[in-house]
Amino acid sequence: MPPLMKLIRQLGFLHLGWPADKREVDDEKLLHLFRNRAELKKAYSGVQDELQRLRDRIKQQEGATARVQEMLQGLEARLSAPETAYPTLVFYQLRELWALGRTVLTQFTAELAEQQEERERRAFLADYNRRQFDRRQGIDANLRQAEGRASDARNAVTEVEQRMQSLRAFWHYFKRRALRQKLQEANLQALLCAQDLDGARTARAQLDAEAAPEFGGLSIEARRAINLAAVGYAQILCDRLVPTALLEPARVAAGRREPPRDDYGDRVRCEAMMAEIARARGLLQQRANLSQEIKQRSDQLQGLAKYRNEGDTVPVADSLSATVDGSKVLSDDMWEIYRVLLR
């Protein structure tokens, strides 16, 4: 019977004469139930969306895995056949040769940037300490002067007070009146000196509380100089590979994902190319007289380099076209130089 009566009450056909407080409690429970239901639906919807996103990511990963497996199977097939194994080896060695040149440039740029940043940071801190020392000297001088003036003012007040104490007879009336005027002036001067002393002490405390500013990083001039040195080094690496005739094949191989079938000839020719690649690796890693060569190249480039604006650190490629040797480093993005240069 009670469930039926409750249903009738909800439908509005019958109002039971229950106490008002019990009806309010039931309404509050019902409202709380609906709120919990809405929150659960919202949470369930969020879980469903997250589940769908995870399913999509799994599908994408499965597709990537399938592509990698297909590439591996193709590579295995190439390596298993004698007529395609040697060209495949040449292809990946050419890619590694190109990556070696990029790695050499990246390490050179990073080392140069680290050294220059350390020098500029030391110069920045030295300049800051020098300016702080000059400020401290001035503030300390002002503080000493303020302390001296405050001490003199206090001594003047004490002197006038002592003179007034010594003139207590009635015939000293007019002298005491004159000294009272002087005492007021001395107290005012002492108050002003005390204020100056407080200001000097505050300035000293503010100076002591100042934190050292952070170093803002390499200057634009330094980044430009490092980039020109990197371009010059890239030119040197290109020149070293010119006698081997491997520069263009390495650049082409770096732009491909899979080895070609018949670009490198038969086994004899491939073996000769692999021997030449090994010699080229040694040429790229050679460091004899390297600093002098890079300096000569960068000095030459510095007189030609132009930039798009004052804040740009990478030179315009066309501005370096006047250099005969290695002028295509920027225009052809040799060794992926734009990934190496500092912005």
pLDDT digits (tens, 9 = 90+) for 183-234: 788 788 888 888 888 888 888 888 888 888 888 889 999 999 999 999 999 9
Among the three residues 76, 95, 110, which one is the final residue of a domain in this structure? 76
Question: Domain of 203: which CATH number?
Answer: 1.10.287
Cα–Cα distance measured from residue 230 to residue 343, given in angstroms and rounded to the nearest whole number:
13
The reply to whether 2 falls in a domain is no
Tell me the residue length of the chain: 343
* pLDDT-wise least confident of 10-19, 27-36, 263-272, 328-337: 10-19
Q: How confident is the model at residue 168 (pLDDT cuts 50, 70, 90)?
A: confident
CA-to-CA separations, 232 to 100, 116, 143, in angstroms, rounded: 17, 18, 56
Identify whether 200 is part of a domain.
yes
- Joined tokens for residue 35: 């709120």
CA–centroid distance for 306 within its chain: 26
User: Do 151 and 91 share a domain, yes or no?
Assistant: no
174 within 8 A of 116, measured Cβ to Cβ: no
Q: Does residue 322 lie in a domain region?
A: yes
Q: Are residues 115 and 226 in the same domain?
A: yes
Report the C-alpha gap between 148 and 197 in whole angstroms.
9
pLDDT tier for residue 8 given thresholds of 50, 70 and 90: very low
> What are 161's two structure tokens?
């007070």
How many domains is the chain partitioned into structurally? 3
Using one digit for the tens of pLDDT, what is the confidence trace for 51-81? Answer: 888 888 888 887 877 777 766 666 666 666 6
**Quick one: pLDDT band at residue 326, thresholds 50, 70, 90?**
very low
For 271-294, the DSSP string reads HHHHHHHHHHHHHHT--TTHHHHH
- Of 175, 209, 243, the last residue of a domain is 209
Mean pLDDT of 252-265: 79
Domain contains 58: yes
Examine residue 172 and state whether it is found in any structural domain, yes or no: yes
Q: Report the C-alpha dihedral over residues 223, 317, 254, 57, rounded to 10 degrees.
A: 70
> What's the pLDDT at 233?
92
* 92, pLDDT greater than 50: yes
Residue 98 lies in a domain: yes
Q: Are residues 284 and 323 in the same domain?
A: yes
328/226 same-domain check: yes
State the average pLDDT over residues 293-300. Answer: 88
What is the residue range of 34's domain? 21-76
